[in-house]
Structure 1
Amino acid sequence: MTKNDDAWEKLFERYQILEEVNKNGYFKIEASQINQERESRLMAKFDHIVNLPKIFRDNNLSILPLSRYQYIIGHFHTHLPVKYNLEIKTIPWQFPREIETIDYTNLYSESSALLCASNIGIIDDLVDSKTKFTVSGRMSTGIFDFYIKNSINKQSYSINVTNSQCEIDAGFETDNYFILIEAKNYKVEDFLIRQLYYPYRLWSKKISKKVVPVLMTYSNDIFSFFIYEFVDISDYNSITLVEQKNYEIASEEIQRSEVELLLTQIQIIPEPPKIPFPQADKFDRLIDLISLLLENDLTPNEITENYQFDKRQTDYYTSAGKYLGLIEKQGKIFTLTDEAKDILCQPHQPKYFRLITKILQHEVFNQAFKLSLETGDIPAKEQIIKIMSESNLKITNTTIDRRASTVKGWIYWIWSQIDRKIGSQASP
């Protein structure tokens, strides 16, 4: 149980919240009531579905702010899935030589990624117009009504918002548009629509220009922009994807021959004795995690509550980072090793060479990658299990299948760095 899980369990019991929702369709709760257990600011903002407290997830509930002092709980459809289009071509972007104060190898916060994208012209290209960075920070929403879909029966609820607080990561103005950007410095599977909808409603009535809501993620050195529109301004769930565009600051591509040469130079290291073989299929998520840890040391609870990890995933991915010698735990805090900090601050090609090296230093991954070079394809799970079985790993038969998926996923990630065309294939 996280701190939020525990606190909400107590509030649900104290105020009979579930019974009231089932009876009336919703329950309004004061910030002062939430504060009896834990600060409402920490208890009522869940960027991703996985961050919702257990009692919310178990009962298909979510929460929205009505004002600075009140929230509403119900079966509301608050989040939107995000699917990255693997078939669109990533646009290479040249970094201007005249800019010396931005280190594009060190964009590990949302603000630094946004500032870079703005100053090197990516935002201008995104909207095909000259933009000016005009708005950011917290502000009051004003007063507005909207409809939101019930996630169970698909009916619509009418909700009134009165001077709630919203936050804008960045607002860019052009001659004809106002671009609202919600930024994440990691890849996402879904996001809280409110983070775009409340600012959208605020600015739609304040200015005459069309307001364009955009989600930006910066992950694995790639800027991904999802341009949306609200088809019906009064309908929270009318959000519709218009276009996705990806950008990458131009870097020298990694060639297969270079990785083959690297493979001949790698020395196999012993398996770490006290760290389990990894069970974390998506290597890009591991890179996102170590990128977050470059900004701040984090407790397991902070990773679980604030980023797109549930408790089990937090355990799996921090353990995978420890397995590669990139993450260490000091007391209750996860932090990066000095080697990881050095890797992350390298330019694109040496950074990814060193990450590939960290993987291929381990016997199973090394053998699986060699097999993929021989066959020209990602090894099948059965082939990987055979390699693992012959490597004297202390893995039970009940978990070897899941851990073979990790090997397959990490080999796929290596190939995605060598051959970008692999991105158009389905991830294993």
Structure 2
Amino acid sequence: MSSYNQAWLQLIASHVDLSQPVNRLTSAQIKAVGKEPRLMTKFDSRSSRPTVLKDNGLFLLPETNGSYLLLREDGYCDLGSAASQDIEDYQAHFPIHFEALENSSSEMNNLDRLFLCGLIGEFVGTPALWATIRGRRFAPEFRYRVGELGEFCAKGIQYEVDQGYESADEIILFEAKGTTPSDFLIRQLFFPFKVFSQTCRKRIRSVFFNFDATHSVCSFFEYRFEDPRQYQSISRIAERHFRVRFPDPSLLTLDELFRQRRRESSQEAWEIPQADDFSKIMELPLKIAEGYDDSGLMATAFDFDARQSSYYRKACEQMGLVTSHLGRYILTEQGRDYIALPSEERTRFMMKMMLAQPIVEAAFDDALRHPNHLISLQNISARIEKESHLSGETVRRRAQSVRSWLRWLENALGELRLGGEVLKID
């Protein structure tokens, strides 16, 4: 069991009456079990909650700037994903070359690029937009209800808006994720909505945005609160999904990257992790540096469960960036060098690390010999089965991870052109 889950068990045992639907915790109580409240209270999805909260149907909301409500209710909203036929292709064009935005994958950076190329204006139906709101703020006092649990009062809490845009008659508030969650915490839209509805005369709109870096798909979901007093009155009123191509003149060609690939890694050559999203592999060392240094805490950072945390940690170990000791995730010397790089250099660094993995080299070799220059799941699986200790359905799952990495690379480079041939992924 992770130290994060152990700490929550201790908190529940000492301060919570599980027979009651409403309990309260303080920052001081959380600190007393040796944890930082900001890390212990970030549950942006159902699966990122500690086990004891999941088992008892509980979720957390801030009540003041130093206390929390622990409520037996469902505080999350299902998100869903785009069917392939619903994804629109979009070629981004910028009026100038924005060097400062190159190769960063943060939520705010994704929104900035989509705003500058006009896609956000297209989704909201208002091209005349101005970016006026961003970051953490303290909220004025407001009241609201959660299901049948009664009325609650938020006093001086902090809330965050990833980006807010303003037109002549509307304010559009965005919550953004660089992941593809299956659900999200309603508070992330509801609290900003309450604050701006209370303090502004313009119409308030709420949008949840996520970016699937593996497939370069941007998803926009607009929500409305049918009863502004009721936390759970959220309903979806619009959604659109775009596969976006961004121009990036700074990236090397695949041939150049192969010549410069890095061969350092810390595990056996044919150890192949089950980690589909390469952008999360890139981000995990940065999260460790921020203090998310075990499987439970990493799950809260990425909105997935502790098992997936271990998969992505193993992928970073394979890249030589991370090691673990007694359940703690630790940056290697190479990992510390990696996080110190500028963001654009980190992308090129990780491309070279990916290309040094034997399974990736083998996939390209097989594709160059294929009559249609195809990178196929079947051939990747055959290579893994031949060269590694893996067998059965595990082989296919790991092959799917490798294929996802190559799709990420294809999206980043525009195409996989190697030795004069354009390789395609099935």
2:100 match: secondary structure: coil
Q: 1:54 to 1:338 in 2, by over 3 A?
A: same
2:227 match: secondary structure: coil
Give 1:418 deviation, angstroms: 5.5
The residue type paired with residue 102 of structure 2 is T
Match of 1:406 among 376, 398, 417: 398
Count the aligned residue pairs: 394
Take 1:109 and 1:210, find their aligned partners in 2: how far apart are those partners? Answer: 28
Tell me if structure 2 keeps the 8 A contact 1:223–1:248.
yes
Aligned pairs for 1:82-93 (under 5 A) are: 82-85=79-82, 86=84, 87-93=86-92
Give 1:294 deviation, angstroms: 5.4
Residue 154 of structure 2: aligned partner: 162
Residue 422 of structure 2: aligned partner: none
Give 1:117 deviation, angstroms: 3.6
Give 1:213 deviation, angstroms: 0.9
Take 1:338 and 1:401, find their aligned partners in 2: how far apart are those partners? Answer: 36
Deviation per residue, 1:313-352 (Å, 9 max, x gap): 2221121233245x3449843364868988962699x899
1:157 match: secondary structure: coil
Give 1:139 deviation, angstroms: 1.8
Take 1:229 and 1:33, find their aligned partners in 2: how far apart are those partners? Answer: 36
Q: Which moved more, 1:3-12 or 1:220-229?
A: 220-229
The residue type paired with residue 307 of structure 2 is R
Take 1:356 and 1:274, find their aligned partners in 2: how far apart are those partners? Answer: 14
Deviation per residue, 1:347-394 (Å, 9 max, x gap): 99x8997577345654664577679876968545xx766543432x23
2:150 match: secondary structure: strand
Tell me if structure 1 keeps the 8 A contact 2:177–2:209.
yes
Q: 1:334 to 1:312 in 2, by over 3 A?
A: farther
The residue type paired with residue 206 of structure 1 is T
RMSD of aligned Cα (Å): 4.2
- 2:21 paired with 1:28: no
Deviation per residue, 1:390-414 (Å, 9 max, x gap): 32x234x5xx522431213422553
Deviation per residue, 1:181-238 (Å, 9 max, x gap): 1122333332211011011111112222221111223442554332222233233233
- Any stretches of 5+ residues in structure 2 without a counterpart? 415-425
Residue 231 of structure 1: aligned partner: 226
Tell me if structure 2 keeps the 8 A contact 1:51–1:310.
yes
Take 1:82 and 1:371, find their aligned partners in 2: how far apart are those partners? Answer: 42
Aligned pairs for 1:359-398 (under 5 A) are: 361-362=359-360, 365=363, 378-379=376-377, 386-391=382-387, 393-395=388-390, 397=391
* TM-score normalised over the length of structure 2: 0.75
Q: 1:368 to 1:226 in 2, by over 3 A?
A: farther
* TM-score normalised over the length of structure 1: 0.75
Tell me if structure 1 keeps the 8 A contact 2:130–2:167.
yes
Residue 165 of structure 2: aligned partner: 172
Tell me if structure 2 keeps the 8 A contact 1:280–1:316.
yes
The residue type paired with residue 5 of structure 1 is N
Q: 1:32 to 1:26 in 2, by over 3 A?
A: same
2:105 match: secondary structure: coil
Give 1:56 deviation, angstroms: 0.7
Q: 1:83 to 1:26 in 2, by over 3 A?
A: same
Matched-pair identity in %: 20
1:236 match: secondary structure: coil
- Any stretches of 5+ residues in structure 1 without a counterpart? 149-155, 421-427
The residue type paired with residue 239 of structure 1 is I
Q: 1:190 to 1:372 in 2, by over 3 A?
A: farther
Tell me if structure 1 keeps the 8 A contact 2:60–2:70.
yes
Q: 1:193 to 1:371 in 2, by over 3 A?
A: farther
Tell me if structure 2 keeps the 8 A contact 1:281–1:405.
no
Q: 1:2 to 1:373 in 2, by over 3 A?
A: farther
Residue 310 of structure 1: aligned partner: 305
2:137 match: secondary structure: strand
